[in-house]
Amino acid sequence: MSEQVLDNAQQLAPGEARCPNEPSTQDIIAKDRVTAPDWVRSESYRFLGDEDIPKGRYIDPEYAKKEYEKLWTRTWQFACREEHIPEVGDYYVYDLGRRSFIVTRVAENEVKAYYNSCLHRGTKLRPSGTEGCASEFTCPFHGWTWNLDGSLQKATCHWDFPHVEAEKFNLPEARVELLAGFVFINMDHDALPLEEYFGPEFMSHINSWGLENRYIHCHVAKRIPANWKLNMEAFMEAYHVIETHPQVAVSNADANSQYDFYGDHVDRFISPLGVISPHLRGQYTEQDILDQFTVGDSSVLAGADRKLAEGETARQRMADMLRDMFEKGTKADLSGVSDSELLDCFSYTIFPNTFMFPGISLPMVYRFRPDPEDHRKSFYEVFFMRPVPKDGERPEPAECVWLEDHQSFTEAEGMDPGFGNILDQDTENLLAQQQGLEATAKDGLTLGNYQEIRVRHFEQTIDKYMAD
Ligand code: FES
Ligand SMILES: [Fe+2]
């Protein structure tokens, strides 16, 4: 750390320091030609303390056991998309730990989530990882059958079960709420409604994104050799970009990205693209930045004119190129869509285990789940969510492709190779981090006050659930 940085940090209250002598994310966005909406132009950061995060939560199997009792049973989780179950009778099996749910559309506007277990002797009614269409749910063991609405239709040889009252044998349900095309479920019948859980600020953000008009065009999953929280936290900051992804730093304002949080359950960063990393300031021209810029499906930009005019910025040219490209792709008028929405990386954590990226160039959702067999492993899923074409039918959602542990993300069909490489870089650090936390003589993890606020915010919310 340079002396200048130390001086700067020392003169300010904790959490107030920002990357010195650099434009802020808001400064960068304010210069764009097409103005960004309010949800982009707001800031919501506060210093939350600088204590170390105790390491036990990542390495102790007892901690993981408690999470199943106290956290996973009481939080709203993204179980599937509505597009997975468009017709009455369609169902999708969602698992969390050893819990399993059949999420099914029981009427045009009603979705239910049943515990995936027979009320006779417990057999799973539908295998994990499956989806399909059903008019009833029949147990494969003795044939007890439930109607789509969860009521008991048949107990085989019911003469032998005079003690079974049909009205007490409805399939037990988790709560369900629908938002922006996502089906959320919660095992806690006393939990806050989803809107209150997220709070008014985030609700105004998500309601302006139109994610209900997106479809899954690629869905990739992989088991990662690290605790689910380490897995998530690897994606919460742009602080690692210069070391882990040096190839993108030329066109990513990494150290001057913006971090925000909203209530207990939502936080985000905005990481501007098309501008140079403060770490590399002075080493590249605007033309270099443009030449090295890749984003999402970068191949489609290959033929574009990339020669900058005198005084033109790489960022503005990139925004114009992307706008043009997406207008052609979607046949929509994007003249009013801001440069920032077209270009920048907006990463939101939706507590406990989902990320949403509402931007247009990287339209993704991530989901993370613990591996019930091993607290040192977790499942990571990436959904690429393209806008539904204006003049056509909604395409079917892509089926999930599971990668083997040794496979690269670049091998997944539909994955842009440049982006797959970034995901490999992110996840390759995780085994070393898990093992290092088990090897260390130190009690906890030390965090930056600003750039790692999402990690602290996330862990403080976990603390709240674990303490109750
Ligand atoms: S266990 Fe399901 S019918 Fe017997
Ligand atoms: Fe990364």
pLDDT in tens, the chain (468 residues): 454 555 555 689 999 999 999 999 999 999 999 999 999 999 999 999 999 999 999 999 999 999 999 999 999 999 999 999 999 999 999 999 999 999 999 999 999 999 999 999 999 999 999 999 999 999 999 999 999 999 999 999 999 999 999 999 999 999 999 999 999 999 999 999 999 999 999 999 999 999 999 999 999 999 999 999 999 999 999 999 999 999 999 999 999 999 999 999 999 999 999 999 999 999 999 999 998 876 555 555 666 678 899 999 999 999 999 999 888 877 778 889 999 999 999 999 999 999 999 988 888 999 999 999 999 999 999 999 988 887 778 999 999 999 999 999 999 998 989 999 999 999 999 999 999 999 999 999 999 999 999 999 999 999 999 997
C-alpha 240/C-alpha 20 separation (Å) is 18
Contact 97, 112 (CB under 8 A): no
State the closest ligand 1 atom to the C-alpha of 121, by its place in the atom list counted from 1. 1
Question: Among all ligands shown, which has an atom nearest to the Cα of 169?
Answer: 1
C-alpha 312/C-alpha 286 separation (Å) is 8
pLDDT of residue 9: 54
Q: Which residue has the tokens 């764009």?
A: 32
pTM (2 decimals)?
0.95
Q: What ranges do the domains of the chain cover?
A: 3-56+214-467, 77-190
C-alpha 176/C-alpha 179 separation (Å) is 10
Q: How far is CA 163 from CA 117, 155, 226, in A?
A: 20, 12, 47
Instruction: Please give the helix or strand (H or E) that residue 262 lies within, else none.
Output: strand 258-262
Residues flanking ion ligand 2, Cβ below 5 Å = 426
**Which amino acid residue places its CA nearest to atom 4 of ligand 1?**
142
Choose one of 115, 117, 119, 120 to mutate for the ligand 1 pocket test, by most ligand atoms within 8 angstroms of C-beta: 120
**Domain spanning 77-190, CATH architecture:** 3-layer Sandwich (2.102)
C-alpha 252/C-alpha 283 separation (Å) is 14
Is residue 402 classed as helix, strand or coil in its secondary structure? strand
pLDDT of residue 199: 98
State the closest ligand 1 atom to the C-alpha of 123, by its place in the atom list counted from 1. 1
Residue 242 Cα to ligand 2 middle (Å): 10
Phi, psi for 159 (deg, rounded to 5) = -60, -20
- CATH code: domain 3-56+214-467 is 3.90.380
pLDDT of residue 1: 46
